[in-house]
Amino acid sequence: MVHFAENAVIKRKIGMFGELRVPIDQQKIISEPFGGGRRKIRGGAMGEAGLSDDGQVLELSERAYRIIYGEIIRCNIFPGATVSEAQLCDAYGLSRSPVRRALTLLTHDGLLKPIPRSGYRIANLTLEGIRQIFDMRAALEGVAVRAAMGRFPFDDLRVLNKAQVEASHAENFRLAIELHEKLHGLIYKASQNPVLERMAWHLLGQTTRVYFLVGKVGRHVVTLKDASEDAHEQLFRIFEAGNEAEAANAADRHIRQSQQALIDALLNSSHFNKMDIIIDR
């Protein structure tokens, strides 16, 4: 049986997460598709009548990948859970071929581990693994910031920062995290380095998984109302000053502070020991 999280999003039901109304002038930047740096599955040919059979499979495979990826990252399927093609097809209304292709890609992403004749295991989270992810993210964030100097879309960044704080104060955890991803995604895009952008998005997804795990155990949600615009605003002001080294160092400090806060919240949660999750030191 698939070990889904309590209140999991199954067949596109909303579950525990709500929506936040935002001003009309903010809706464009806020409502752009979540996860712009996610893997895109390419291939197939377009015929006069539309997608070829191969193209249709690729389109369905990308949809399957995004659905399952989102469920893993949002911890609607918990770390350590075992899943099979048949279970995922049934849970999300998908067909076998696209799911099989999506599972291969998710394995390559490090989110799944094949179990011979049994299916797949969702990759566990370990404290050392979390630290390694944040180490790499901090390094890439610094490179991205240096490359993006002079090209930051500060108006859009401030819109997202404000909206993220409003979502946090409303305790809309999912929206707050998605806006956080979009904010950092704009920084990666401003680097004008597609290779860096893809790598940074991958690591950001891994850290987002930790955010959602902390949210599931409850501790982090309680502190959302303490969120303010100051942390990111201080970064923006340093970026605006134009000193590459200072900007990169500030980005590194920001990531390190997030890392420590997440680990502390995870380990201090009163619900943590009740959950079937393996966290190895």
Instruction: Quote the domain boundaries for residue 142.
Output: 127-274
Q: Are residues 259 and 145 in the same domain?
A: yes
Q: Say if residue 59's pLDDT is above 90.
A: no
Report the number of distinct structural domains present in the chain. 2
More confident residue, 173 or 65: 65
pLDDT for position 22: 33
**pLDDT the model gives residue 120:** 97
Asked if the model's pLDDT at residue 13 lies above 60, the reply is no
Mean confidence (pLDDT) of the chain: 79
Helix-then-strand count for the chain, H and E: 11, 5
**Lowest-confidence segment of 48-52, 112-116, 180-184 by average pLDDT:** 48-52
pLDDT at 34: 44
* φ/ψ of residue 267, rounded to 5: -75, -25
Instruction: Say how far residue 235 (Cα) sits from the centre of its chain.
Output: 21
- Predicted local confidence at residue 60, as pLDDT: 87
Question: pLDDT tens digits, residue range 195-249?
Answer: 999 999 999 999 999 888 887 775 544 456 667 788 899 999 999 999 999 999 9
Task: Indicate whether 141 and 254 sit together in one domain.
Answer: yes
* Mean pLDDT within 147-175: 94
User: Are the C-beta atoms of 124 and 277 separated by less than 8 Å?
Assistant: yes
Give the best-scoring range by mean pLDDT among 16-25, 84-93, 259-268: 84-93
83 and 100 inside one domain: yes
Cross-strand pairs, 51: 46
> Does the model's pTM come out above 0.85?
no
Higher pLDDT pick, 36 / 73: 73
Question: Are 209 and 257 members of one domain?
Answer: yes
**180 has pLDDT over 90:** yes
**54 and 155 housed in the same domain:** no
pLDDT at 277 over 80: no
Helices (H), 110-193: 127-148, 154-169, 173-190
226/193: higher pLDDT: 193
- Residue 208 sits in the same domain as residue 269: yes
Q: pLDDT class for 42, splitting at 50, 70, 90?
A: very low
For residues 107 and 191, state if they share a domain: no
13: in domain? no
Tell whether the model's pLDDT for residue 113 goes beyond 70.
Answer: yes
DSSP code string of 212-233 = HHHHHHSHHHHTGGG--SHHHH
CATH, residue 161: 1.20.120.530
Question: Last residue of a domain, which of 80, 103, 122?
Answer: 122
Higher pLDDT, 113 or 41: 113
Confidence of residue 107 (pLDDT cuts 50, 70, 90): very high
CA distance linking residue 204 with residue 107, whole number of Å: 17
- Quick one: pLDDT at residue 4? 46
Last residue of a domain, one of 122, 142, 169: 122
CB 179 within 8 A of CB 160: yes
- What's the pLDDT band for 27 if we cut at 50, 70, 90? very low
**Where does a domain end: 103, 122, 141?**
122
Q: Has residue 5 been placed in a domain?
A: no
Lowest mean pLDDT segment, chosen from 36-50, 55-69, 145-159, 246-260 = 36-50
Does 152 fall in a domain? yes
Residues 237, 185 share a domain: yes
Residue 203 falls within a domain, yes or no?
Answer: yes
CATH number of the structural domain spanning residue 48: 1.10.10.10
